[in-house]
Amino acid sequence: MYRESQIIRNNTPDNYMVINVGPQHPSTHGVLHFVITLNGETVVKLEPHLGYIHRSIEKMCESLNYRQFVYVTSRMDYLSSHINNHACALCVEQGLQVEIPERAQVIRVLMDELTRLASHLLWWGSMAMDIGALTPFFHAFREREMITEIFEETCGARLTMNYICPGGVMADLHPDFQAKVKAFLKQLKEKLPEYHELVTGNIIFQNRTKGIGILSKKDAISFGVSGPTARASGVSCDVRKRYPYELYDKLEFKEVLEDGGDCWARYLVRMEEINQSVAIVEQLIDHIPEGDIQAKTKAVLKLPKGEFYSRVETARGDLGVYIVSEGGTTPYRIKFRSPGFSNLSAMETMCKGGKIGDFVAVMGSVDLVIPDIDR
Amino acid sequence: MKFSLEYITKSVDGWLNATFNPTIAFLIESVIVMVLVIALFAFLGLVLVIMERKVAAFMQIRLGPNRVGPKGMFQTVADTLKLIVKEGFTPNNVDKFLFNLAPFIVMITAMVAMAPLPFANGFQIWDVNIGILFITAITSVSVIGILMAGWSSNNKYSLLGAMRSGAQIVSYELSAGLSILVIVMLSSSLRISDIVAAQADGWWIFKGHIPVLISFVIFIIAATAETNRAPFDMAEAESELTLFFLAEYANIFIVCAVGATLFLGGWMPLHFGTGTAFNTVMDYIPGIVWFFGKTFLLIFIIMWFRWTFPRLRIDQLLNLEWKYLLPICLVNLLLATIIAIAGWHF
């Protein structure tokens, strides 16, 4: 039987102490298990142990047809369900060679950005909570609730939404959508200075994050880190800019880059990304064209024999969907390149040599979603 | 006639001494004082817990407890009743004697430290001539209780928590002591009634120039750290020891009461200048209201810290004390000495 404690005991020098963080631990945001070797309070080694929430989504997708498998992917990175569905839809559409109506494209981008906002808001609250401030979580949820309501009205779900499907989106927007989104944007812009006052400007918060968990640009590239975590190390990797999909090449927004590579830089990147997402939503919300919400597709989708790959930018980074098709109605093999997995692999580099207390701050700043790592 | 609790205490004391012989009168007075202190602590436990929860709810845009009694005011009573009827639990492999003794030490030190505190004019248990020294000495004993709890629990995490907590309390006691010294020097007395009397024409925080302001800020930081509250809540040892949560609130009350007495004039009303109509109006508010008002203001500030600040790391916490607060305190003490000798304060 696999006994971690035995292996660790046999391989650890006497002056080191091994502690388990997780799988049930508040700071890991889910069932992730870290085995941390400590020398005093300094982290010597950090091993992530995965598998506690493995649901074999990739294998499951092989027996689901091209319309069905999309819905399973909402359960991967549950904070960016729309974006996961979007990636799958893009991959299938690439195989089908269909053009998506403009209205559907706009709706998809709007949903993506709202999802990103919701995810970043939740991250902001939980990062502050990791560092010990309990209150910001409630403030973040006040704004996030408005997005969740918008989603609920439009697609019926509050968390694992299934709305974007191959060919377009499943249903038309709720009539209140525009008004609600505008109300949300107004509220968020009003409250963002409060966020900065409460957390960003706090000297304790800055002390806990500045110079902590540094990830160099070189390391970030070699670990395949993506998303805000990589951009905080100065790696330009925003898929929306570099490999634009849907409407992103026509929209005006900045790729946020910082070069500190520490928790503080990661914090600043995400906070600025909130502003950028707000800008994108503002550009689109008044210009939703009329028209179809779905391209005309067959009831049963069949992809031609071949390999298809699509990538999108989720709230956590670069999500890739790789489909191998044998020409049938179900994928022969499917593989998701999840941003969380690569970001997790850089955790040891970030935490090594730091204090055990900093591990929690790094964990918060990397913003891992465990079901995304363990599919 | 202005309302004063002094009349009550004086008449009770006079009646007892006239009726019984002095020894019995003293014993009866001791019993009355003990009952009152224990009652006060029980009451404070109830009030401060509901206050903490309401303040937290206010900061976090929630409602907080609102089911039991009007606006949830009896929530803590219900919680306490629930705790009382629960089974007393002592884990295996603990040193039973020390484990059960530890909370009492923490609690009793908080109660004893209350002795020299003046709640109102003449309403004071023991006006000892080294009052403030007595309080600092007694409160530092509570560290022993915490270490004892950590040690006796026979659990490495509790012990680590207790050690951290001990290191923190011992360190921050220095700053607290040095900031108290500033006031002692300005009032040139350790007796608490003298310190309060010295603030009759204005509280030290207004009269004492910058050194008192600095020492007030340092005192509040040290008080937060000494009571192990956020942003200094490193120690988690108390979470498994039942009486400690009550002791936490008792300690908060003590440090805030000391702060209010030293810097904000204790039971002294707010005065501007001398002989103005404003002062006369203020005089009509009883001293006990002033005392509890100021104390609860400081308690609110400490709660405010907890619900808005992130937590410091343990090494940052100790650095803050030894590298910043302590040197500042020493320089500040020097400044205050100069001011006190030259008589530059108002």
- For residues A184-210, average pLDDT: 89
A122 and A204 housed in the same domain: yes
Q: H or E stretch including B319?
A: helix B314-319
Determine which of A88-97, A299-308, B56-65, B237-246 has the lowest per-residue pLDDT on average.
B237-246
Any domain includes B284: yes
- For residues A260-281, average pLDDT: 90
Question: pLDDT below 70 — which residues of chain B?
Answer: 1-4, 230-246, 273-275, 345-346
Q: For position B240, what pLDDT does the model report?
A: 45
A80 and A34 housed in the same domain: no
B71 and B123 housed in the same domain: no
Q: Edge-to-edge, what's the strand order for the sheet holding A318-325?
A: A306-313, A318-325, A333-337
B238 and B268 housed in the same domain: yes
According to DSSP, residue A156 is labeled S
- For residues A88-112, average pLDDT: 88
B151 and B279 housed in the same domain: yes
List, in sequence order, the alpha helices (H) in B96-188.
96-112, 131-152, 156-187
Distance, in Å, from the CA atom of B195 to the CA atom of B156, rounded to the nearest integer, reads 44
B45 and B149 housed in the same domain: no
Which of B86, B104, B139 lies at the terminal end of a domain, its last residue?
Answer: B86
A19 and A138 housed in the same domain: no
B69 and B163 housed in the same domain: no
CA nearest A129 in B: which residue? Answer: B310
Name the β-bridge partners of A35: A20, A47
A92 and A130 housed in the same domain: yes
B271 and B294 housed in the same domain: yes
B118 and B65 housed in the same domain: no
Give the count of domains, chain A: 2
Q: Which of A271, A278, A119 is nearest to A199 (CA)?
A: A271
A326 and A286 housed in the same domain: yes
Q: For position B237, what pLDDT does the model report?
A: 43
Q: Which of A132, A202, A208 sits opposite B230 (nearest CB)?
A: A132
Any domain includes B91: no
Which of A32, A49, A66 lies at the terminal end of a domain, its last residue?
Answer: A49
Distance, in Å, from the CA atom of A46 to the CA atom of A43, rounded to the nearest integer, reads 7
**A85: which 2 tokens?**
């569905």
Q: For position A11, what pLDDT does the model report?
A: 64
Q: For position A8, what pLDDT does the model report?
A: 60
Q: How far is B234 from chain A (nearest CA, A)?
A: 10
C-beta of residue A128 within 8 angstroms of C-beta of residue A136: yes
CATH number, domain at A139?
1.10.645.10
Q: Edge-to-edge, what's the strand order for the sheet holding A33-39?
A: A17-21, A33-39, A42-49
- For residues A307-318, average pLDDT: 90
Q: For position B297, what pLDDT does the model report?
A: 92
pLDDT single digits (tens) A238-247: 888 888 888 8
Q: For position B203, what pLDDT does the model report?
A: 82
Contact flag A202-B309 (C-beta cutoff 8 Å): yes
A85 and A24 housed in the same domain: no
A219 and A348 housed in the same domain: yes
The number of beta carbons lying within 10 Å of the beta carbon of residue B277 is 7
Which of B86, B121, B151 lies at the terminal end of a domain, its last residue?
Answer: B86
Distance, in Å, from the CA atom of A285 to the CA atom of A277, rounded to the nearest integer, reads 12
Q: For position A1, what pLDDT does the model report?
A: 44
pLDDT single digits (tens) A23-46: 776 666 778 888 888 887 888 888
A121 and A9 housed in the same domain: no
B15 and B118 housed in the same domain: no
Give the count of domains, chain B: 2
Contact flag A205-B310 (C-beta cutoff 8 Å): yes
Any domain includes B188: yes
Q: Binning pLDDT at 50, 70 and 90, where does residue A119 land?
A: very high
Q: For position B327, what pLDDT does the model report?
A: 92
Choosing among A21, A191, A195, A204, which should be mutated to test the B contact, i.e. which has the most B CBs within 10 A?
Answer: A204
**A356 contacts in B (CB within 8 Å)?**
none
A218 and A359 housed in the same domain: yes
The ipTM value here is 0.81
Contact flag A133-B313 (C-beta cutoff 8 Å): no
B101 and B239 housed in the same domain: yes
B267 and B325 housed in the same domain: yes
A176 and A324 housed in the same domain: yes
B275 and B186 housed in the same domain: yes
**A10: which 2 tokens?**
């046999």
Which of B24, B59, B86 lies at the terminal end of a domain, its last residue?
Answer: B86
Any domain includes B5: yes
Distance, in Å, from the CA atom of A37 to the CA atom of A8, rounded to the nearest integer, reads 9
B296-301 contact pairs (CB < 8 A, 24+):
B296/B51, B296/B256, B297/B260, B297/B264, B298/B220, B298/B223, B298/B256, B298/B259, B298/B260, B298/B264, B299/B48, B299/B51, B299/B252, B299/B253, B299/B256, B300/B51, B300/B55, B301/B220
Query: What are the φ and ψ backbone dihedral angles of A169, each rounded to 5 degrees?
Result: -125, 160
**B100: which 2 tokens?**
């059960």
**B61 contacts in A (CB within 8 Å)?**
138-139, 142
pLDDT single digits (tens) A126-173: 888 888 888 888 999 988 999 999 999 888 888 888 888 888 888 888
A186 and A275 housed in the same domain: yes
* A97: amino acid identity, one letter: Q
| Prediction pTM value | 0.85
Distance, in Å, from the CA atom of A55 to the CA atom of B293, rounded to the nearest integer, reads 58
Q: Which of A208, A355, A358 sits opposite B310 (nearest CB)?
A: A208
Q: Which residue range(s) make up the domain with A333? A: 57-373
Please give the residue that has the higher pLDDT: either B240 or A249: A249
Q: Which residue range(s) make up the domain with B212? A: 96-342
B116 and B59 housed in the same domain: no
A233 and A356 housed in the same domain: yes
Q: For position A269, what pLDDT does the model report?
A: 92
CA nearest A40 in B: which residue? Answer: B160
**A121: which 2 tokens?**
């808001």
List, in sequence order, the alpha helices (H) in chain A.
4-11, 57-62, 69-72, 81-96, 102-131, 135-155, 177-195, 203-209, 217-222, 228-231, 239-242, 263-285, 339-345, 347-351, 356-366, 370-373
Q: For position B149, what pLDDT does the model report?
A: 81
